[in-house]
Amino acid sequence: MLTTIAVILIVLWLVGLITAYTIGGFIHILLVIAIIMILIRLIKGKR
């Protein structure tokens, strides 16, 4: 589930880069959240 949410956030970030620069800050925050979620998933998976 976390991976799916992270992929969705990354796709939204890419769409935001292509279409609009006004809400760029919000999109970048979503990207950071997505990366953190992926890292948490990888760390938990190694245990």
Phi, psi of 21 (to 5 degrees): -105, -10
Tally of residues, the chain: 47
Task: Using the predicted structure, report yes or no on whether residue 41 has a pLDDT greater than 80.
Answer: yes
Q: What pLDDT is stored for residue 6 in this prediction?
A: 79
Each residue of 14-34: pLDDT tens digit? 776 666 665 666 767 777 888
> What's the mean per-residue pLDDT of the chain?
75
- Number of domains the chain is built from: 1
pTM of the model: 0.49
State the residue range of the domain holding 31.
2-46
Give the C-alpha separation, 23 to 28, whole Å.
9
Rg (C-alpha) for the chain, rounded Å, is 12
CB 11 within 8 A of CB 46: no
The two three-digit tokens of residue 8, written as one number: 């969705």
